[in-house]
């Protein structure tokens, strides 16, 4: 399983939110590039960058931050937040993103999802299935839809999506651990595709548990884990996280 340190950009800073609440933020680095370089120096091989300003405003705000990070760090960067048009997707990829994460637009404008898949291929387009209280949330997690997570996966697979990011918003930033049974269900719902898990990881044991779950239940589609607060708070190092994710 792959480790993706999270760099959430809000107001020009690298921050973390609690359960997606924009009013409950903590600044960890005034410069997102500095945060990214720190994780890469510590051994990170991938980065997950979220434009929180973009997610809230409906269009990318921090493309230049992405360009700096992708240009300076030398590792693949996946980027999401506010990508709600084909032009925005093109701009993010042109700025250096290896892959982009589409959220709101995948549920509100399926034609944009289709156009992006056709233009860039399944490997470069991920869809975020962000869930609050069992239902998909959109628009920067500020609006909850009537779509259940498993139904969303089925519909998205029919549209040609192979790769997903799943966030349990109720656990995001809490350090309380992931719901193993829910993770297993979600990984199964992805079918032959892959899922990157986000939300709740707080200890090395959490990561070990996810790695063992993947092995015990043959969940090959459980591809990686996005970790933010736990790394910033020093609960474990990048090296320790990577080692934990190799367990069977």
Distance separating alpha carbons of residues 105 and 116, to the nearest angstrom: 11
Distance separating alpha carbons of residues 189 and 154, to the nearest angstrom: 7
Q: What torsion do the CA atoms of 43, 46, 51, 55 make, to the nearest 10 degrees?
A: -130
The range of the structural domain enclosing residue 80 comes to: 2-244
CA distances from 219 to 72, 73, 207 (A): 34, 31, 15
Is 206 a residue of the active site? Answer: no
- Per-residue pLDDT, 139: 85
- Per-residue pLDDT, 44: 98
Does the structure show a pLDDT above 90 at 199?
Answer: no
Least confident of 63-77, 168-182, 183-197: 168-182
Domain count for the chain, please give it.
1
Report the CATH number at residue 205: 3.20.20.70
- The mean pLDDT of 129-136, rounded to a whole number, is 89
- Taking only Cα atoms into account, the Rg of the chain, rounded to an integer number of angstroms, comes to 16
pLDDT band at 123 (very low <50, low <70, confident <90, very high): very high
- Per-residue pLDDT, 27: 94
- Residue 157 neighbours by CB under 8 Å, 6+ apart: 190, 191, 193
Mean pLDDT, all residues of the chain: 92
Distance separating alpha carbons of residues 200 and 212, to the nearest angstrom: 17
- Per-residue pLDDT, 140: 77
Highest mean pLDDT of the ranges 80-89, 125-134, 147-156: 80-89
227's torsion region: left (phi>0), alpha (psi -120 to 50) or beta?
beta
- Per-residue pLDDT, 200: 85
**Among 54, 7, 5, 60, which Cα is nearest to 33's?**
7
pLDDT band at 124 (very low <50, low <70, confident <90, very high): very high
**Residue of 51, 130, 168, 172 marked active site:** 130
**Residue of 8, 53, 168, 172 marked active site:** 8
Is 223 a residue of the active site? Answer: no
């Amino acid at each position: 399983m792959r480790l993706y340190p999270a760099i959430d950009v809000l107001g020009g800073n690298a921050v973390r939110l609690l359960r997606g609440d924009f009013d409950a933020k903590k600044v960890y680095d005034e410069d997102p590039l500095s945060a990214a370089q720190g994780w890469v120096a510590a051994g990170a091989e991938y980065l997950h960058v979220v434009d929180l300003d973009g997610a809230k405003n409906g269009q990318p705000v921090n493309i230049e931050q992405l360009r700096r990070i992708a240009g300076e760090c030398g590792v693949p960067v996946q980027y999401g937040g506010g990508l709600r048009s084909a032009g925005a997707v093109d701009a993010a990829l042109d700025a250096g993103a290896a892959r982009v994460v589409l959220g709101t637009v995948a549920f509100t404008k399926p034609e944009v999802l289709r156009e992006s898949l056709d233009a860039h291929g399944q490997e470069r387009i991920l869809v975020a299935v962000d869930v609050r209280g069992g239902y998909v949330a959109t628009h920067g997690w500020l609006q909850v839809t009537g779509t259940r997570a498993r139904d969303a996966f089925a519909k998205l697979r029919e549209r040609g999506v192979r790769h997903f990011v799943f966030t349990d918003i109720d656990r995001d930033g809490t350090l309380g651990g992931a719901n193993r049974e829910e993770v297993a269900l979600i990984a199964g719902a992805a079918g032959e595709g892959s899922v990157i898990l986000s939300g709740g990881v707080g200890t090395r044991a959490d990561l070990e548990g996810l790695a063992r779950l993947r092995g015990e239940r043959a969940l090959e589609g459980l591809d990686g884990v996005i970790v933010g607060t736990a790394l910033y708070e020093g609960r474990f190092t990048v090296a320790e996280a990577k080692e934990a994710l190799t367990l069977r």
